[in-house]
Structure 1
Amino acid sequence: MTACTVCLRDLYENELGHQACRPCTNRADANLAALAGADGLYARLADSLHPGSSSGGPAVSGSRTAPLPVRLDPLSLAARGGVVTILQTWLIDWHETLGYTHPRWDGGLQQQLDQVVQRLRVLLPWAAEAHGAFAEFTGEIAQLRRQCETATGGETPPRRIGVSCTCGRTLKVTLDTAGVRCPDCSAQYGHSEALRLPLAERRAA
């Protein structure tokens, strides 16, 4: 392996053979850490369930129909099948790959979230080196963090802009894009290379 599977940049000598470079591994670790804990994004979802809450949900007044008692975006992320289940699925996969016993979960969803995040962070260096789907994992964890930030009013989704590949294909990137591959010519661009591509021309409607 000579290039990071996440940002597509060339690996340094001490990273050769790994799936991901150190910055991408550190970014995944930071995204995991942001989800956990009493003040983490997952815990804050509970405060964002009611319409009109400080999370940025719309306040409804004078409506002809009664508003939903909870906001669906935070609820779907916080409930079983949301953030916790996605992270547990990844940990189960990692344990099976390593030949470890099936992980166990104790307590409620917040406790399970904290447990699975802690375990994933412990195994993260191994996954960055040896797990074939590490790029998919980092992308999904980054997406979970963005979804939680949006649901809790922390941040709006990053704006996507169109840039032109050297072959002429328009690629969609954001300021935090780790890397992008052109589906037409298979050219690979790391973070800085993608942001240096010329802006795509807007076509008239």
Structure 2
Amino acid sequence: MNDLDTCLSCHRDLRDYETSRYLCLPCEDRIAVHLGAIPGLFERLDDHLHRGAGRSGPAVSGSKSAPIPCRLDVLDLRTEKGPVLAPLETWVRDWEEAGYAEVNELGGATDRVTHACRTLRFNLSRAAGQHPAIEEFADEIATIWRTLTRITTGETAPRRIAVTCPCQQTLRITLDTRGETCPRCQTEYGHAEVLRLPLAERRAAA
């Protein structure tokens, strides 16, 4: 049970119909969308395994040119212990211990990612009301979704902006950040608050 009456993910006050939950309904919906999209994005990684894939068309049979090197970052994402499948199945195991889900490690990587996402999505509402680590789960699912989206769409990582906390600590944020905690004074900022902090002054070149 959440005794704080605030969403652990976006930190806004919970509505009357959301009290005792760990997540507000919009955050739960966002996680559900991410879980629904991850399997398809994961399957599309094969199209981006080689450098230049998707931009110059398929390789021509019999070409004498050197083979296109694999993208190691994409290859790592596809592995069993990589940053997609491993954390998804770790959460399924964690939820299984709490009685929310069942682990299934049969089939290939895409099948296992699909099963994990389907299982976590099916049990999401229950976990949003009962699992105290739901904030960590939400952040990890969002990270997986952003990583796969940038690989498959070619989007670059959002530009980071340096702002200054009143304690003079520099924080590096993005325009879509949900919030930030200052490592020096431990002040917690929500999305709107952290965007209102003054820009950090550029240091003069030595």
TM-score category, normalised to shorter length: 0.7 to 0.9
On the 8 A contact 1:165/1:197 being kept in 2, the answer is yes
Residue in 2 aligned with 1:138? Answer: 138
TM-score by length of 1: 0.83
Deviations 1:32-57 (A, max 9, x none): 12212xxx21011011111221279x
Residue in 2 aligned with 1:88? Answer: 89
Pairing 1:126-165 to 2, within 5 Å after superposition: 126-165=126-165
CA distance in 1 between counterparts of 2:184 and 2:142 reads 26
Deviations 1:170-204 (A, max 9, x none): 22221221221222222222222222222222222
CA distance in 2 between counterparts of 1:55 and 1:195 reads 36
Deviations 1:17-45 (A, max 9, x none): 22222222222222212212xxx210110
CA distance in 1 between counterparts of 2:34 and 2:55 reads 20
Q: 1:170 to 1:44 in 2, by over 3 A?
A: same
On the 8 A contact 1:7/1:180 being kept in 2, the answer is no
CA distance in 1 between counterparts of 2:106 and 2:119 reads 13
Q: Secondary structure at the match of 2:143?
A: helix
Residue in 2 aligned with 1:3? Answer: 6
On the 8 A contact 1:74/1:148 being kept in 2, the answer is no
- Computing the radius of gyration from Cα coordinates, the structure with the larger value is 2
Residue in 1 aligned with 2:29? Answer: 26
Equivalent AA in structure 2 for residue 192 of structure 1 = A
Q: 1:68, CA displacement in angstroms? A: 6.6
Q: 1:151, CA displacement in angstroms? A: 2.4
Q: 1:164 to 1:55 in 2, by over 3 A?
A: farther
Residue in 2 aligned with 1:109? Answer: 109
Q: Secondary structure at the match of 2:30?
A: helix
Q: 1:87 to 1:55 in 2, by over 3 A?
A: farther
Q: 1:101, CA displacement in angstroms? A: 7.1
Aligned length: 192
Q: Secondary structure at the match of 2:11?
A: coil
On the 8 A contact 2:101/2:120 being kept in 1, the answer is no
Q: 1:201 to 1:18 in 2, by over 3 A?
A: farther
On the 8 A contact 1:74/1:152 being kept in 2, the answer is no
What is the aligned-residue identity percentage?
46
Residue in 2 aligned with 1:43? Answer: 43
CA distance in 2 between counterparts of 1:192 and 1:160 reads 16
Q: Secondary structure at the match of 2:146?
A: helix
Q: 1:135 to 1:174 in 2, by over 3 A?
A: same
